[in-house]
């Protein structure tokens, strides 16, 4: 087990100092949901993405990787997915109950469940 801690902050390239969610993808890349976008950690390199890159919102509260390897991001302004074609976002107009997405889960049938702040 490790004996040392390394702290990363916005000064190191992290989207923001507030971290809400973590996910490791199938390639071992760590995705970090922050108060200002999503950050991708590859060893020592951190790349951050936000609304200008196609992410639905600023704050990323939930992360999920589905069985096909597609990454999903629950934000304060909707739901985004990232695949080889880039980000695609969904909001109220696409049927979400609310744009504030706090939880994501894929069930046994491969359906994505989306937890929001509205019924």
Question: How many structural domains does the chain have?
Answer: 1
Q: Is residue 93 part of a domain?
A: yes
* Residue 102 falls in which region: left (phi positive, over 0), alpha (psi -120 to 50) or beta: alpha
**For residues 57 and 76, what is the distance between their CA atoms, to the nearest angstrom?**
6
Q: Is residue 62 part of a domain?
A: yes
| Burial grade of 113 (CB within 10 A; 0-12, 13-18, 19 or more) | exposed
In sequence order, which residues have a C-beta less than 8 Å from that of residue 1 and are 6 or more positions away?
Answer: none
Q: Is residue 64 part of a domain?
A: yes
pLDDT in tens, 19-42: 999 999 999 999 999 999 999 998
Q: How far is CA 50 from CA 38, 47, 54, 80, 100, in A?
A: 7, 10, 7, 11, 16
Beta bridge partners of 116: 101
Q: What is the CATH number of the domain that holds 103?
A: 2.130.10.10
pLDDT in tens, 63-100: 999 999 999 999 999 999 998 889 999 999 999 999 99
Q: Is residue 48 part of a domain?
A: yes
Q: Is residue 106 part of a domain?
A: yes
Q: Is residue 5 part of a domain?
A: no
Residue 119 pLDDT > 90: no
Domain residues for 47? 10-116
pLDDT in tens, 98-111: 999 999 999 999 99
**For residues 78 and 100, what is the distance between their CA atoms, to the nearest angstrom?**
6
């Amino acid at each position: 087990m490790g004996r040392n801690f390394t702290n990363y902050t916005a000064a190191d390239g992290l989207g923001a100092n507030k971290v809400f969610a973590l996910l490791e993808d199938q390639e071992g890349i760590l995705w970090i949901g922050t108060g200002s976008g999503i950050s991708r950690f590859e060893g020592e390199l951190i790349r951050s993405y936000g609304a200008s890159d196609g992410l639905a919102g600023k704050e990323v509260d939930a992360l999920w990787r589905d069985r096909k390897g597609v990454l999903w991001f629950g934000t304060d302004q909707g739901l985004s997915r990232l695949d080889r074609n880039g980000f695609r976002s969904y909001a109220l107009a696409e049927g979400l109950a609310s744009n504030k997405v706090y939880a994501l889960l894929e069930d046994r049938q491969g359906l994505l469940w989306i937890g929001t702040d509205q019924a």
